[in-house]
Structure 1
Amino acid sequence: MKQFFPFFSFLLGVILMGPYAHAQDGYPNRVVKIVVPFAAGGSTDLLARSLAERLGENWKQAVIIENRAGAAGSIGADAVAKSKPDGYTLLLGTVTTHAVAQTLYPKLPYNAQRDFVPVTEMVTIPQLLSVHPSLPVHSVQDLVAYAKSKPGELAYNGSVGATPHMSMELLAARAGIKMLPVPYKGSGPAMNDLMAGQLQTSFDVIMTTLPHMQAGRLRVLAVTSAKRSPLLPQIPTIAESGYPGYESDVWFGLFAPAGTSPGIVNKIGADVRTVLTEPKMRQKLEAAGFSIVASTPNEFAVRVKDDIQKWRKVIVDANIKVEQ
C-alpha cells in the first residue's frame, strides 16, 4: 500500500481542489460589481472606474461600479459583507472602512476581518500636512512648538474618524500636543476654510492639496507616507521630521465576502495586480498621486490586521467617540 499512498494523496488533492479550480477557470462568466462605499467623483471612485474598465477588457465581461455612500463607508461595506460569496460582488474598501471603523463604531454591522476576504491592497495615497501661510511655521517642528504655545487653539479639519482627523491624532499623540478638531462634511469646505484662514492647519490627500500649494495659498510642511512622494521630492516625511515610524497613508484595497473560494480570490487578485502594473495604468495612477502596492491576499490580510491594532490604540488613547 505504501507505493500507492502518493497516488491516493494526489487524487484526494485533485478531488478537494476540483471546485476551486473549476470556479477559477470559469470566472467570470457574467457581470462583476465593485461597490464603492463613497459618493461618486472622489479618489476612491476614480480608482474603481479605472480598474473596472481594464478588468472588463481583460475578462471580456462587464465590470460595473455601484456607489453606495453613507455612514463613513459602512453602508456599502455591509452590503458586500452580506452578498453571495461568489466573486461577483466586491468591495473597494479603505483604511477608513476597515482599520478605523472596526474600533470607532461599536455598532458596526460587519466585522472587518471576519466578514471579508482580502484580495489585494491596490494603492496608497499620501496626505500632506499643510498650514495657512500666515502661520509662523515652516516645518513640523515649528508647528509642534507653535501648538504647544497655544494648546487646543489651532483648528484643523477633524471630522471624526476621517483620515485627516486620525492622522492629526496620531501626530498629536507622538508630539504631545493638543489641537482643535473642527468637523466638516467634505474635503472641499475644509480646504476652503483652510485657505481663508478659518483653519490653521490640516491634512488632505496630495491630489487635493497640490494645486493650492503651487498657487501659494497653502504651505506644505510634510507628507504622511513612509517615503517622500515622487511628485514632491522636496517635501520631507513626518518620520524624517522628528517622528520616526510615523505613517498615515490612505490605502485602497479590494475585498470579497467571506466564504469566497480561494481559487476565485487568487484569480481576481492576480488579474488586478496585472492591471495595476501595466505601464499606462501605473503612469495614470501615479500622476494622480497614487503609489502602486498590488499585494497578495496574505500580505493584505497582514496590513489590515496591523492597521486595526494601530488605529485602535490611537482611538482608545485619545478617547475618540462617535454618535451612532
Structure 2
Amino acid sequence: MKTMRRTFLASCLLALCGSLPASVLANSSGGSYPTKTITIIVPYGAGSSTDILTRVVAKQMSQDLGQTVIVENKAGAGGAVGSAMVAKATPDGYTLVMGTISSHSINQSMMKNLPYDVLRDFSPISLVAYFPNILAANKDVPASNLAELVQLAKKQGGMSFATGGIGSSGQMGGELLKLRTGAPLNHVPYKEVGQAITDTIAGHVPILFYQVPALVSQIKAGQLKALAVLAPQRTPLLPDVPTSAEQGIADFDATAWMGLFGPAGMPAEVIDKLNKSIHTAANNKELNAQLAPQGFTMVGGSAADFRSFVENDIRKWADVINATKATIQ
C-alpha cells in the first residue's frame, strides 16, 4: 500500500513539473544554468557597431559561462524585428538581445506600432557599453563651433543634417540641438551611413550626426571637421574636439549605448549569472584594449541600475520626441 502511495505521489509531482513554465523550472535549477548554447540576437546587420561589440562580448561570455554563446543578426525596423523575437521567446536565459538606445529607448516613443513594450516585455540584464556621437560638418561650412553653426542655421533660415536613419541616436542629437538652441534643423535620414558620410563630404548635406568611430578617419584627413562631441566627456579618439557642454550648451548628451536584455519573467538567478558574466567582460583588460580603438567604453553594473537607466533614458527621449514631433508611422 505504501509503495503504491509513493508511486502515485511521484506521478503527481512529475505531472506538476511538466506543467510548470520554463521560467519556474529554470528558477528551481538556477545553479546549473547554462546547460546549452545561448543565443544573443543582434537586431541590426552584420558589421554594425552592435554586431561588432556583441561578437567580442559573446566570446568572453562563452569562456566565462562554459557554454557556447552564438550571435544571430535579425535586422529590420530600427532594431524592432529582432527585439520583438526575443520579447516573445521563452524566458529561460537562452535567447537574449543586445538592445540599443534606438531599439530599447528611442523606439518606445518614436514608433507608433512598436511590437513590444520595453519595460513590460524584457528583463534588463546589464548595461554593456556606450560610445559617443559627434557633430561633423563639411569642411567648407563657415562654422568652427556650435555657436557659429547655430547662428549660421538661423541666418540661412534652415539647415539640413544627415544621420544613419530615422530613430537613430544621431537623429536625436540633431533634434536635441534644435530643441536646446532653437536652430532650424531639418533631418535627412540615410539607409546607408556610408552614403550619408559621402554626401556630407561632397557638400550635398552640410552637417552629419553620427558615431565617432565611423568618422575619425575622415576628420583626421580633413574631409570633415568635427564641431562637438555629444557626450559628457571628450573622446580619446578625438581628444581635441570639445563637448557640447564645454561650448555652453548644457544638458546635451546624445551618447549611444548597448545593453543585454532577455524576455520578461527570467529567473533572478539566471539574470544574476548573466550580469556577472557581463561584469567580467567589462573588466577584462584585453577585451577593453580591443574595443577602445573602436570607440567603445565598457560599462557593466547591476541589473537594477540598468532598469533605472533605461527608464530614465526612455523618459528623456520621449520628452525630446514629443517636443519636436519626431515620429515613425
How far off its partner does 1:22 sit? 4.9
The reply to whether residue 116 of structure 1 matches residue 119 of structure 2 is no
* Of 287-296 and 260-269, the range deviating more from structure 2: 287-296
* Larger Rg belongs to: 2
Could you tell me which of 158, 175, 178 is aligned with 1:172? Answer: 178
Give the conservation status (yes or no) of the 8 Å contact 1:34–1:92: yes
User: After the TM superposition, which residues 152-163 of structure 1 pair with which residues of structure 2 at under 5 Å, given as runs?
Assistant: 152-157=158-163, 159-163=165-169
Q: How does 1:129-168 map to 2 (within 5 A)?
A: 129-157=135-163, 159-168=165-174
Distance (Å, rounded) in 1 between the aligned partners of 2:256 and 2:163: 16
Instruction: Return the offset for 1:152.
Output: 2.1
Which of 63, 86, 93 pairs up with 2:69?
63
Does residue 78 in structure 1 map to residue 103 in structure 2?
no
Q: Is the 8 A contact 2:161 2:209 kept in 1?
A: no
| Pairwise CA RMSD | 1.5
> Per-residue CA shift, 1:231-262, capped at 9, x if unaligned?
22211111111111211111000001000001
2:33 to 27, 36, 61: 27
Superposition deviation, residue 59 in structure 1: 2.0
Which residue of structure 1 aligns with residue 313 of structure 2?
A: 307
| Counterpart position of 1:14 | none
* Cα shift at 1:171: 0.8
Q: Does 2:274 match 1:230? A: no
Alpha-carbon shift at residue 190 of structure 1 (Å): 0.4
Q: Aligned ranges for residues 1-324 of structure 1 at < 5 Å?
A: 22-157=28-163, 159-323=165-329
Q: Confirm or deny: 8 A CA contact 1:119 1:265 kept in the other structure.
A: yes
Identity %: 35
Deviations 1:97-134 (A, max 9, x none): 01111111121110010000110001001011100010
Give the C-alpha shift of residue 321 in structure 1: 2.5
Provide the TM-score with structure 1 as the length reference: 0.91
SS of residue paired to 2:120: coil
- Cα displacement (A) at 1:158: 7.1
* TM-score normalised per structure 2: 0.90
Residue 163 of structure 1 and its aligned partner are, at CA, apart by: 1.6
Counterparts of 1:306 and 1:27, CA distance in 2: 31
CA distance in 2, matches of 1:287, 1:153: 32
Comparing 139-148 with 157-166, which one deviates more in the overlay? 157-166
Q: Take 2:121 and 2:62, find their aligned partners in 1: how far apart are those partners?
A: 26
Q: Structure 2: state its 5+ residue gaps.
A: 1-23
Residues in 2 aligned to 1:21 and 1:307: alpha-carbon distance in whole angstroms: 30
Please tell me the residue identity of whatever aligns with 2:281.
Answer: V
Q: Distance in 1 between matches of 2:50 and 2:79?
A: 11
Distance in structure 2 (CA, Å) of the matches to 1:88 and 1:116? 14
Question: Which amino acid in 2 is paired with 1:217?
Answer: Q
- Return the offset for 1:154: 3.6
> How far 1:64 moved relative to its partner?
0.6
Match of 2:21 in 1: none
Contact map agreement 2:170 2:210 (CA 8 A) in 1: yes
Which stretch shows the higher mean deviation, 245-254 or 49-58? 49-58
Matched positions, count: 306
1:158–1:181 contact (8 Å) kept in structure 2: no
